[in-house]
Amino acid sequence: DVKVTQSSRYLVKRTGEKVFLECVQDMDHENMFWYRQDPGLGLRLIYFSYDVKMKEKGDIPEGYSVSREKKERFSLILESASTNQTSMYLCASSPVGTGGLGGYTFGSGTRLTVV
């Protein structure tokens, strides 16, 4: 069964810490995405990547960075965590083709709490 795996389901970090959220997909997808999900706001795109070492800003990139050193792995980095980054983080991947919208496959999410 194809999968997008996020390394942690729940994470608690302190304000000011550097936080790494890891995402791995086993489908050989070119595209990978990071979204955050908040009640009443839906999903908002943070960053995405169409290829190794390539990244593009989404709608809310401030306070975040990403890394894609290998095709299967896409990391989200919170350089200095703040309480307003407490959220559910969702990783997704998709193949190229059909306009790059072959359909996203999502991971189960990481619920991050910053205290």
Partner 1 sequence: AQSVTQPDIHITVSEGASLELRCNYSYGATPYLFWYVQSPGQGLQLLLKYFSGDTLVQGIKGFEAEFKRSQSSFNLRKPSVHWSDAAEYFCAVGAESGYSTLTFGKGTMLLVSP
Cα 29 to the center of its chain, rounded Å? 14
What is the spatial distance between Cα 23 and Cα 16, in angstroms, rounded to a whole number?
22
Region of 108 please: left (phi>0), alpha (psi -120 to 50) or beta. alpha
CA-nearest of 12, 28, 52, 25 to 108 is 25
The yes or no reply on residue 41 touching partner 1 (CB under 8 A) is yes
Report in angstroms how near the CB of residue 115 gets to partner 1 at its nearest: 21
**Judged by CB, which is closer to partner 1: 50, or 73?**
50
**Judged by CB, which is closer to partner 1: 17, or 59?**
59
How many residues bind partner 1 (CB under 8 A)? The answer is: 25
The yes or no reply on residue 1 touching partner 1 (CB under 8 A) is no
Cα 81 to the center of its chain, rounded Å? 15
Q: Of 63-102, which residues contact partner 1 (CB under 8 A)?
A: 90, 92, 96, 98-101
State the residues that interact with partner 1 by CB under 8 A: 4, 33, 35, 40-43, 45, 48, 50, 58, 90, 92, 96, 98-101, 103-109
